[in-house]
Structure 1
């Protein structure tokens, strides 16, 4: 366990280029950047130097960190907050840029694939595109009638946004109006994610469904097929989705979903078939992640359990509980590099958990 926050840890993100650097953000307005030690035979438990701390001074009620995203080169970390600000710091915790153009909490931040731009999605319904090298606003987009909940990049100049109005807009950076609107959900769209090839977009909603949209043609300037594959089966809000890293041996992309109904599911995204329902949690599931090698996936949530499943056998392989009080696990992020495989956890207790998967016999490669 890593100690450095004084309240709930809501978000965590591994650096994409430096395997031992982890960013975490919490309700106490603090972003911590941890530099973990290389695991040793004598002391396999994950340890870290004292974190580099980046603190933004705001009213306590407005300080909650909502999102973290590293630039593709791992040099910058973007943080969204309830105080309406986008803040970007470098990997040493020094402020690079801070600005606010939105009139409500920032719910999502996302760097473009090239790292030139970062998007912020706000409760005021707008999306801002920020030019990172110039440290300035590039453009603000007001396409949603109400709160914008998530954003995703299709390419370096096309992004997608979703919101409370049930709409999904496809937007080119240099245009004022969406180039396409994807309609089908009947309630709030909570999250959107592209597969690794950025040809399919998954969306999940309060209406209890997930939809799969073909978006490959949009990147080429052609109209997409607006008819989605619908994944139905959850009995409550679907709040988290994640794609399995591309498996060249499969003829379809595998998608995992989790819900406030306490279940997670694996789906064939081409046919909409539910491959397995997992009902091991006793309360809502908040977060879900695949291992980068596609072998395992993990779920965590309100009951304080982290559960790890085998993708092929579709059976639970290992479980761990955070604590008996203030149990929730808000977010997990899975990192794999060379001989390292680690899961970071943001905990309600204010601690940051790091699970070294290679030290768990049940999870080792057979």
Structure 2
């Protein structure tokens, strides 16, 4: 590649009638002219960003960062800054010019006041959670390496001793979803394609059945509130929130989706819930007001699942287009596409470290992504058929599959530790807590796995 800064050019040399020296001097002159015309004051930089249809500011962005971003956009798009200065943007003082020639056209859809307030809340809430997470990681980093290694080896050995200790026929149709309460591991929800939602205890005894058959159809998603052990959400034709103490009617229904709702998850604060739908959108809802705050497009096919970052500041969505997208809820922008699967993505989870994302696909693989390096970290040839779900737990990665098995992998080297065999047909979902793993499937059963001894 030619370095034009070091190239000595004969001004008399021409190529196809073009004087190379004059051409390069013209490019350099244009670059310097653009630098001179770009405002140095922050108000002027914001005005120019607004004019070219870019966000005026980004979360955590300083005035210097903002001007650098503007310069990069100008160079990338070959924008004539002088034309902007003559027509639309006042360079001196950085304010838009007075007069009727200022365009009224907006280059974005303004957020509602409720969404703006929600973003502020999420930003403040995430700061506290991220500090706790980082402090925990810092403490882990102070533990001697030999002690960490021995602990992880011990955990991995325990995983190899998982055994099937219980099985219960739950429904007359495939059991599509299971969720263990994060506040009480003795409370378990199951949902089936028959439309029923049931509350079980840790011994797989059915305690209650919620009458969702007529309103939901196939139950796709179940999620417990992280702050209230009685509240849960389920999805099918719409999103419903229930009190586990009452089976009569839902607390609320969120009905704006125009097609089947597949998965849902509560924000770590418990104030919001996100839902993924076959209408090719995911949506963010305020539980207190029962209001839809955000309708987010971006996928080219049906959106199958959504998961919040442990801090609550980010959300990852994935779907039948085989792509996962990471969204910054504070900015309202997609900040990173995760592309690599060749078939639909059905499972998605964040690691507790807040850095890694795992996606599972119909191509039989699990991909682990590193957000710091913004790239794929590992591809695991996990199963011979569809990988229906995936979850991080401690230092393990667990998956379920249509090959009738569950598998556990070590997060140190992504090698398999054990395979759990017991389902006679497809494993559609599972959940895990410190005490056990619970899986459900096409064979209409729920099965419980614990470590022997």
Given the two structures, how large is their TM-score scaled by the length of structure 1? 0.67
Counterpart among 403, 412, 432 of residue 303 in structure 1? 403
Distance 1:148-1:354 versus aligned 2 partners, 3 A rule: same
The structure richer in strand per residue is: 1
For 1:171-182, what aligned pairs fall within 5 Å after superposition? 171-182=285-296
Distance 1:206 1:229 in 2: 18
What's 1:320 paired with? 419
Counterpart among 317, 334, 356 of residue 227 in structure 1? 334
Is the contact between residue 160 and residue 169 of structure 1 (CA under 8 Å) also seen in structure 2? Answer: yes
Distance 1:328 1:99 in 2: 26
Distance 1:275-1:322 versus aligned 2 partners, 3 A rule: same
The structure richer in helix per residue is: 2
1:169 equivalent in alignment to 2:268: no
Counterpart among 205, 221, 241 of residue 348 in structure 2? 241
Is the contact between residue 347 and residue 361 of structure 2 (CA under 8 Å) also seen in structure 1? Answer: yes
Is the contact between residue 163 and residue 189 of structure 1 (CA under 8 Å) also seen in structure 2? Answer: yes
Query: How far apart are residue 95 of structure 1 and its match?
Result: 3.2
Root-mean-square deviation (CA), in Å?
3.2
Q: Deviations over 1:284-304 (max 9, x none)?
A: 2223232x32x2223342334
Query: How far apart are residue 96 of structure 1 and its match?
Result: 4.0
What's 1:268 paired with? 370
Is the contact between residue 163 and residue 450 of structure 2 (CA under 8 Å) also seen in structure 1? Answer: yes
Distance 2:424 2:278 in 1: 29
Distance 2:178 2:346 in 1: 18
Counterpart among 188, 193, 196 of residue 85 in structure 1? 196
Distance 1:355 1:130 in 2: 29
> Relative to structure 2, which stretch is displaced further, 302-311 or 146-155?
302-311
Unaligned ranges ≥5, structure 2: 1-160
SS of equivalent residue, structure 2 residue 334? coil
Q: Deviations over 1:57-105 (max 9, x none)?
A: xxx4xx3322222332245333323333333355573534522361522
Counterpart among 434, 438, 441 of residue 336 in structure 1? 434
What's 1:27 paired with? none
Distance 1:228-1:143 versus aligned 2 partners, 3 A rule: farther
Count of matched residue positions in the alignment of Structure 1 and Structure 2: 286
What's 1:16 paired with? none
Greater C-alpha radius of gyration: 2
Counterpart among 112, 122, 128 of residue 240 in structure 2? 128
Distance 1:118-1:351 versus aligned 2 partners, 3 A rule: closer
Query: How far apart are residue 186 of structure 1 and its match?
Result: 1.1
Is the contact between residue 182 and residue 226 of structure 1 (CA under 8 Å) also seen in structure 2? Answer: no
Distance 2:223 2:345 in 1: 21
1:285 equivalent in alignment to 2:387: yes
